[in-house]
Structure 1
Amino acid sequence: MKTNNCITSAIFGLFLFLGLLSGNALLAQSNDTATLPEFVVDVSKTMGGFKPLNGVNGGPRIRLGNAFDNSEYFKTFGPPHIRLHDTRYSDEETVDIHTIFPNFDADENDPANYRFQKTDIYIKSILDLGAKVIFRLGESIEHGEPKFYIHPPADFDKWARICSRIVQHYNMGWADGFHWDIQYWEVWNEPDIAECWSGTQEQYLQLYEITAKTLKKLNANLKVGGPTLAYNMDSELGEAFLKHCKKTNSPLDFVSYHIYSKSTDDFMKRIEISNAAIRKHGFKNVEISLSEWNYVSSWSGKSREASRDGLAQTMAAPGAAFTVAVLSYMQDTELDMAQYYSAFGTIFRFGLFDKYGVPKKAIHALEAYHKMVQLGTRVSTSGNKQETGVSIIASTELGEGKTAVLISNFEDNASRYKLQIKNVPFKNELKCSEYVLDDNHNLDLDREQILSSKDFSLIVDLPKSTVRLLLFEAL
């Protein structure tokens, strides 16, 4: 009898040893795991749905005469909103006011003076995905000299009327147009930096007021917003904008601003600062949009080296881990929506695709997040460490017998974690499929195992710049 017990113990030990060698997420078997940092998921505590924070800047059509269409890639991450800004990087002669109405001295009431066709095609490719459009009224950024189009319009009232005609074309059928019911209209982009606005602060405030009032007079149900700042809303222009809207009773349905950072902690603190500034001025019910955001490890303007080295990290594993972390954290902020910059390739190799339209690591970060959203119901989690970009978020679809957990480590020194799952409401066994996104994997299946307990723990390898997606499905 003792011999049989010894043999059984030896076999069990051998299998456990082999499992530890071959797997990255195993059932906890030893007291050695007691000191590991811990994630906890409680499937019984639901927290409602997910906010539409996985929007992007830029649609699926790529430049070079529309030779490339990335619609199939876009479907993998399901953006709820797509913002139209800097579209010249992906499809020239679209969206910017000077491309739609090239001769500012022409009659703005004559359809013959508008060039809508390329923008029509561009927007249709977005709507075909099921995404909503956020139309930025203005011009794309101009990094170089001289500047051509980012100057204040010669006539603010006429510019506002041109914007009104654009709205009429896409929502009211004007000029052989459409009835697409585009709701969100954003006035200009980053008027707080010289690359986007050569005018004064007062000129922007005046342009916003005139344009917003013109559009709301056309249709009170439109959502008009700004100021789309490059910096925080507690900045000089941010404060001035909020005060001006209050003083002049300028329509303001949503406030938008941008954040680029190399730190998840800095990123989230800046959201808190900007949102607090908005509420301080009495805008309690306006929507808040983070209309551009991304991870930037370094930025040296037009430096070729920064483009090659610093911004390359944005599309590599560090950028993917950062993206998952802040998407998880942002669920618990006052943000109503957010749009990652960008979903097109640019000269800075900045975002989901390179300049040739080839997908990079960051697209798989959005894909992993989209899988969480698809299940529909967020559940309680703990274990976030904002200072170093450690994050966890979980979702469930009880009717389908599915639960998913998404974890990320941006830059924490800990490389192994204990993941505890509580109150799984399925009586039968569960299949756990684990996917990894890191330097060597693109959300690839790493391992599968069968679990049979209502409450269980897994040991997860999660070094820096790593994302893991665990899908649990009732058998």
Structure 2
Amino acid sequence: MPEVTIDFTKEIGAIKPMHAVNNGPIKAKSDQTRGNFDAYSAANIPYARNHDASFCSSYGGEHAVDISAVFPDFVSDPENPDSYDFVLTDEYLKTTLDAGTKIFYRLGSKIEHWSKKYGTLPPKDFQKWAVICEHIIKHYNEGWADGFHWDIDYWEIWNEPDLDPDDSDNKRTWGGTAAEFYTFYAVAARHLKSRFPHLKIGGPALAGQTGKWLDGFLASLTKNGGRVPLDFFSWHIYTTDPKRIIEMANVIREKLNRAGYETTESILNEWNYVEGWTDQFIHSIEMIISMRGAAFTQASMCLGQNSTIDMMMYYDARPCAFNGLFDFYTYRPLKGYYPFFIFSKLSKMGTQVQADSDLGELYTVAARGKDGKCAAVICYYPQDGNAENQAVTVHTSGGKGGFDTFLLDDGHDFEKTGITELNGNEAVFHLKPNSILFLTQ
């Protein structure tokens, strides 16, 4: 019988923000009323990256977030407040902040799948682009141009510049070459870090090219004895195996360390359940909104907590095919909402404690609060589609006795199943494949 062993007295460190997302909530309007603001707020999501926000009309659509939306005429004077259109971006960011979620601001453009490109073309003047970004930061953090003092700390330069090779006929995210991006990043990062040394400046939201492209990027940062700022390194992976996430995280951490960026944060700010991008894609998005997608999400968070990753940001909380949290039409919570709600409970307690499983398909994290309250999540996510139910023995030490138990599976929406009294500090739970158990006291 598989076993999970939890020692609530053995502290490991802080619970990390594994339950961050891309994009924010939607407030219901006076008519055609639907929204997810209350549920989003209840999940206590720590950060929301605003990449691809301009695809969503509820966020402001084409008039929000992207540099080409905020600064629509590149020949304009970047020192003149009249050159900027902040209105809808202001509203969108405020809604996110009102939900208790911090902003992770992506400076650049949404992905452009169509034949003609707009915001993904390399800026005609790299330094001017950096100055424009400087004034966007001033607007949101220093009150410039009737702005705010929101203390947005993460500022990401571009998105997935490695997605397509230099000789591609359809470059969806960066219209130039790899070498041009390396120069562009250096210009922007140096300027922004010199102007805002207290903020976290980084990027480049790597699409997944951990070989030649990444090696070239890291080498460019220290070329000729210099050192380009890289407070965080952001990267992406789409898979069905949480262990693949950790494999990539380890490669990235090793390469950052070797390049001299040992203290640079490793931030996975796009990830989700994807079997493949062609014939398997339709099935993938069906799974994203299913209990299997929810179990994948929870399992990935658990592994991420015990890895070199500093933050994970699920793609996507925006109404789209990748949103496993909220129904596309009603915005009501789906199965995939609850892993975020669960991890927020652990995060509030603050301190991770020892929790181990002797079965590789059982993923677990446990936490303890300063008030002595304890909690643990156990997720059964097998790779085998024909996997059987498991009777799991849970051993605990250092807790207060019985646990309130909550179950998420095909038949339960994070429902309280009762109070489990431990028999000699152990209890047996029967879990279906793709199910999540939460214990709290």
Q: TM-score scaled by structure 2?
A: 0.90
Alignment of 1:74-473 (within 5 A): 74-90=40-56, 91=59, 92=61, 93-193=63-163, 194-232=171-209, 234-247=210-223, 248-300=226-278, 306-307=281-282, 309-346=283-320, 348-356=321-329, 357-383=331-357, 385-386=359-360, 389-397=361-369, 399-400=371-372, 402-411=373-382, 413-426=387-400, 430-451=401-422, 455-471=424-440, 473=441
Secondary structure, aligned partner of 1:45: strand
Which blocks of at least 5 consecutive residues in structure 1 are unaligned? 1-35
Q: For residues 62 and 297 of structure 1, what CA distance do their matches in structure 2 show?
A: 33
1:374 to partner: Cα distance: 2.0
SS in 1 for 2:176: coil
Residue 11 of structure 1 corresponds to none
CA drift at 1:397 = 2.9
Q: Equivalents in 1 of 2:351, 2:142: separation in Å?
A: 36
**Distance in 2 separating the partners of 1:57 and 1:244:** 28
Superposition deviation, residue 48 in structure 1: 2.6
Check whether the contact 1:344–1:351 (CA below 8 A) recurs between aligned residues. Answer: no
Q: 2: CA distance between counterparts of 1:42 and 1:49?
A: 15
Contact 2:407–2:415, Cα closer than 8 Å, also in 1: yes
Query: In 2 relative to 1, CA 436–141 (structure 1 residues): closer, same or farther, beyond 3 Å?
Result: same
State whether residues 2 and 358 of structure 2, in contact with CA within 8 Å, keep that contact through their aligned partners in structure 1: no
Which residue pairs with 1:39 in the alignment? Answer: 4
| CA offset digits 1:406-448 (Å, max 9, x no partner) | 111111635223333332353xxx4432211122222112233
Q: Once the 2 structures are TM-superposed, how far is the Cα of residue 350 of structure 1 from its aligned partner?
A: 3.3
Tell me what 1:24 maps to.
none
CA contact (8 A) 1:101 1:115 kept: yes
Secondary structure (helix, strand or coil) at the match of 1:98 reads helix
Structure 2 CA distance for aligned equivalents of residues 118 and 398 of structure 1: 41
The root-mean-square deviation of aligned C-alpha atoms, in Å, is: 2.2
Q: Report the CA distance between 1:146 and its aligned residue.
A: 2.6
Report if the CA contact (8 A) 1:345-1:351 is conserved. no
**Offset, 1:100:** 0.4
Q: Secondary structure at the match of 2:371?
A: helix
Distance 2:5 2:113 in 1: 46
Shift in Å, 1:384: 5.7
What's the % identity of the aligned pairs?
33
CA drift of 1:398 comes to 6.1
Q: Is the 8 A contact 1:436 1:443 kept in 2?
A: yes
> Residue 236 of structure 2 contacts residue 270 of structure 2 at CA under 8 Å; is this kept in 1?
yes
Q: 1:243-298: per-residue Cα shift (whole Å, max 9, x none)? A: 11112421111111111111122222111112212112121111111111112133
What SS does the aligned partner of 1:227 have? Answer: strand
Question: Greater Rg, structure 1 or structure 2?
Answer: 1
SS in 2 for 1:271: helix
In structure 2, do the counterparts of structure 1 residues 50 and 117 end up closer, same or farther at CA, with 3 Å as the change threshold?
same
Matches of 2:259 and 2:406, distance apart in 1: 45
Give the C-alpha shift of residue 131 in structure 1. Answer: 2.3
Query: CA offsets, 1:93-113, max 9 Å, x none?
Result: 211011101111222221111
Count of matched residue pairs: 423
The Cα offsets for residues 9-55 of structure 1, whole Å up to 9 and x where unpaired, read as: xxxxxxxxxxxxxxxxxxxxxxxxxxx11111112212232011211
